[in-house]
Amino acid sequence: MKPQFVVVFLLGSLCAVSIAMATTYVRVEKDGTKTYSDRPIPGGQPVDLQPAQTYSAPPSQGSNSRPREEQLLDQTDDFRYQNCGVTPPNDTTIPNPENVTVTVSTTPPLRAGDVITMTVDGQPAAPPNSLSFTMSPAHRGTHTVAVNVANPYGKVVCNSTSAFHVLQPGMNSPARQPPPRPPRPQPPRPTPH
As averages over each run of 10 residues, the pLDDT of the chain (193 residues) reads 57 53 80 85 81 70 66 67 90 91 90 90 89 89 92 87 86 61 80 72
151 and 90: one domain?
A: yes
Spatial separation of the C-alpha atoms in residues 187 and 48, rounded to whole Å: 125
164 and 87: one domain?
A: yes
109 and 158: one domain?
A: yes
What is the pLDDT, as a whole number, of residue 116?
A: 92
Is residue 90 within 8 A of residue 163, CB to CB? The reply is yes
Q: Which domain holds residue 21?
A: 3-47
What is the pLDDT, as a whole number, of residue 147?
A: 92
Does residue 62 come out as left (phi exceeding 0), alpha (psi in the -120 to 50 range) or beta? Answer: left
What is the pLDDT, as a whole number, of residue 121?
A: 92
What is the pLDDT, as a whole number, of residue 24?
A: 84
Spatial separation of the C-alpha atoms in residues 145 and 161, rounded to whole Å: 5
Number of structural domains found in the chain: 2
What is the pLDDT, as a whole number, of residue 112?
A: 86
38 and 91: one domain?
A: no
What is the pLDDT, as a whole number, of residue 165?
A: 93
Indicate the residue type of 115: V
What is the pLDDT, as a whole number, of residue 91?
A: 92
Closest CA to 153 of 93, 65, 83: 65
CATH number of domain containing 146 = 2.60.40.10
Is residue 95 within 8 A of residue 167, CB to CB? The reply is yes
22 and 99: one domain?
A: no
Concatenate the DSSP letters of all residues of 38-101 into one string: SS--TT-EEE-PPPPP---PPPP--S-SS-HHHHHHHHH-----SEEEEESPTTEEEES-S-EE
In a domain, 138, yes or no: yes
